[in-house]
A and B are shown apart, each in its own frame.
Chain A
Amino acid sequence: MTKTLTIDGKTIPFQDGQTIIEAATAAGVYIPHLCHHPEFTPHGSCKLCSVKVNGRVCSACTFPAAEGQDVINNSQELNDDRQKITQMLFVEGNHFCPSCEKTGNCQLQAVAYHLNMLDDHFPLFFHNRNVDASHSDVLIDHNRCIFCTLCVRASIEQDGKNVFAIAGRGINKHLAVNSATGLLKDSDLDKNDKAAHICPTGAILIKRTGYQVPIGQRLYDHQEIDAVSLAHETEQRHGE
């Protein structure tokens, strides 16, 4: 017999071992997320996928689906709080969208649009962060890093390398590169690595590819991230 849980009152099936977000995605229900990616080990750090499971706040990307769970996802309260968490990411880093090559194709920006975020709400940190343009093909702009660790995981789990790590504590966290100089050029990153393409923001970019898609034709210009995300994952499943 198929096991089921409900999300916002809708009954959806799941298989043992699935997380809530996996069950939701398979059933065509979008739960906002940034650090989650279906191809990699769940991380649970961005907290955008916070849902209420039987009244308790859980991260949908790490919490196992279980029979009869009553999950609240798309409520005004949760979306308002997700907006605040997104605003925290914006004020922590230096996200100047007009000057970022990722604009229009950026998940951080798109999730902000989806949550109808119009301002930063909190005071900005303006922390001084660097850019590492040393690599011939790939650029790191630390100003835009949100510590989702997708590049870390992609490098280990898919590329079979270990190019990235998160170092430091608390608000002083930063992306670190595994090379003697700490520079990307001295790492074994290749521009075709998954890790070079996985960044949900403009922190890791392939050089000489910016602004090639005209405004109006970019990923999120007309389509919201929920539709893009679900379509992408359906495509992935069919491709398997």
Chain B
Amino acid sequence: MNMPLAPYEVISSGLNLFFALIIGIAFGFILERGGLGNAKKLIGQFTLTDLTVFKVMFTAIVTVMIGLFFLSAFGLANLELISNSDTYWIPQILGGLILGVGFAVAGYCPGTTIVGMATGKLDALASFLGLIFGSLVFVAIFDWIEDFYWSTHLKNDHFSQVFAIEFGTSVFIVICIAILGFITAEIIESKSRGSTQK
């Protein structure tokens, strides 16, 4: 077992950052090719006319989950060494709502803002400036909200830990949810296309 590579010191943290940069550029390229650098396409998520964002993001989540599960199951990766943010459920729900409002207003989420900027879109640049401003405001008021920020911490924050089920079972459940989600998205999109044609 020697994955993840950086925590096991197979590669240096500098090389790890370099790989992250390459993967980030590749991810951004794929998002752009998938049309996610365009605010009109992204806003279709909220008007239920184009659910590409949902499908792309859920595919990414499911792909990583399945990959990590099998790497762990065959003893190639130690999941305990993969860092992930802890769950602080009330602050994170509020943060999600704020991000959602920003997404709906601007037509971009933070990642797609960069993708949009890379193709020279001015609305993406405006969203990026808003993102920087929002981040600065967050830093400025952090001392006042710090207690709230660290509140409602869930110690067992993995899906399988919360529901006391095996990791493989939780993978199976998330896959079932993904399949239902993909089918539902197709139905919603086809109905939306049908009503537009009428």
Q: Are A and B bound to each other?
A: no
* B interface, CB within 8 angstroms of A: none
* A interface, CB within 8 angstroms of B: none
